[in-house]
């Protein structure tokens, strides 16, 4: 296979969540150096956790997005991946949508957990044109204040800010800024700050059937579940990110809340159980959600 050819990593798995169908769409993955991205934990500890989980220290960051379909609204996409032309192993959202017989133009709303490139890059094609021509885009107001509205030289991650601005530019008046609450029937925005100023999750459904799509509460799923104090390179506020992670992991474990995440290993839906002083993510049994 030619070195720069695109690798087909697209995939889709359906989960019944009350009256809605939640579909995990794989955007693919990127390979990262664990020593670069792991923070606040000795590298040897991180490597030991990875090896115990039968995972390589050359960390593979999986990228998930989530589609919600319901009779109460049109197709809603939660995050949209890295986008095409960046990595040959990623940028697969459009192809994954085709597996469920949808096209980008069918998407009514794109809900963003935050504005990092692997969550918003898929908003535009390689020429900077809108991929989701009929969709409005929704995210937290604090994300806009940090990434879009202040002087770009004041943003610690200038490259990230430039990418976010480019990705959102074609959407203009179709952008809606919120601070929480219901964003569509059966979908609620839940603030989960720390990874970025306006990082959020989206709760789909209600009661025991709900699934919380928690964005990047964990970026290193095996390590940060077992050792929630471990940080990630791109955390805006490391202390707040740890506080949020501990709180939501504890809540999910104690309440039996099913979670989904953009970097939980595909198909990206899990249950949380307490394990010693930390936690463990147990892959949800997909057949139980059919």
CA 191 to chain centre: 14
State how far the Cα of 273 lies from the Cα of 290, in Å rounded to an integer. 22
In a domain, residue 7? The reply is no
On the 0-12 / 13-18 / 19+ scale of CB atoms within 10 A, 100 is: middle
Domain membership of residue 55 (yes or no) is yes
| Residue 204 CB coordination number (10 Å) | 27
Question: What tokens were used for 48?
Answer: 């030991």
Cα 277 to Cα 180, 216, 225, 226, 235: the distances in Å are: 31, 21, 10, 8, 23
Domain that holds residue 204: 12-289
pLDDT at 121: 98
What is residue 4's predicted lDDT score, i.e. its pLDDT? Answer: 42
CB atoms within 10 A of CB 270: 22
Q: How many CB atoms lie within 10 A of CB 56?
A: 12
Residues of the chain with pLDDT under 50: 1-5
In a domain, 80, yes or no: yes
Residue 4 lies in a domain: no
- For residue 11, the model assigns a pLDDT of 87
Q: What is the pLDDT of residue 1?
A: 32
* Residue 6 included in any domain: no
CATH number of residue 206's parent domain: 3.60.15.10
Classify 257 as helix, strand or coil: coil
Give me 89's structure tokens.
């192993």
Strands 231-232 and 211-213: unpaired
Instruction: Let me know: does 180 contact 189? Beta carbons within 8 Å.
Output: yes
**The pTM is what?**
0.95
In this structure, is residue 191 part of a structural domain?
Answer: yes
Residue 73 domain flag: yes
Instruction: Give the DSSP per-residue string, 146-212.
Output: IIIIS-GGG-S-HHHHHHHHHHHGGGGGGEEEESSEEEETTEEEEE-TTSSTT-EEEEES-GGG-EE
- Please provide the average confidence, as pLDDT, over all residues in the chain: 94
Return the sign of the alpha-carbon dihedral for residues 113, 180, 248, 245.
Answer: positive
CB–CB of 266/275 below 8 Å? no
Provide the number of structural domains found in the chain.
Answer: 1
Q: Where are the alpha helices (DSSP H) in the chain?
A: 34-37, 43-52, 93-98, 117-120, 141-143, 158-168, 221-226, 238-255
Predicted confidence at residue 6, as pLDDT, reads: 57
CA distance 255 to 258: 9
């Amino acid at each position: 296979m030619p070195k720069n050819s695109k690798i087909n990593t697209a995939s889709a798995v359906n989960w019944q969540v009350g009256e809605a169908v939640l579909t995990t769409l794989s955007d693919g993955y990127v390979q990262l150096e664990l020593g670069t991205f792991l923070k606040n934990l000795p590298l040897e500890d991180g490597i030991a956790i990875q090896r115990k989980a039968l995972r390589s220290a050359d960390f593979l960051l999986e990228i998930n997005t989530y589609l919600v379909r319901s009779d109460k609204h049109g197709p809603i996409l939660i995050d949209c991946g890295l986008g095409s032309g960046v990595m040959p192993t990623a940028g697969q959202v459009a192809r994954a949508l085709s597996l469920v017989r949808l096209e980008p133009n069918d998407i009514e709303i794109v809900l963003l957990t935050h504005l990092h490139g692997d969550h918003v890059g898929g908003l535009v094609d390689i020429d900077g044109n809108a991929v989701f021509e009929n969709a409005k885009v929704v995210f937290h107001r604090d994300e806009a204040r940090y990434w879009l509205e202040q002087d770009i030289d004041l943003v610690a991650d200038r490259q990230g800010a430039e990418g976010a601005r480019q990705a959102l530019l074609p959407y203009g008046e179709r952008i809606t800024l919120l601070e929480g609450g219901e964003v569509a029937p059966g979908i609620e925005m839940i603030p989960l700050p720390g990874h970025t100023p306006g990082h959020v999750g989206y709760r789909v459904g209600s009661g025991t059937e709900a699934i919380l799509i928690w964005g990047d509460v964990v970026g290193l799923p095996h390590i940060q579940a077992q050792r929630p104090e471990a940080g990630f390179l791109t955390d805006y506020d490391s202390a707040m990110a740890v506080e949020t992670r501990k709180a939501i992991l504890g809540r999910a474990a104690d309440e039996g809340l099913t979670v989904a995440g953009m970097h939980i290993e595909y198909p990206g839906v899990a249950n949380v159980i307490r394990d010693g002083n930390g936690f463990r993510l147990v892959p949800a049994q997909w057949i139980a959600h059919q």
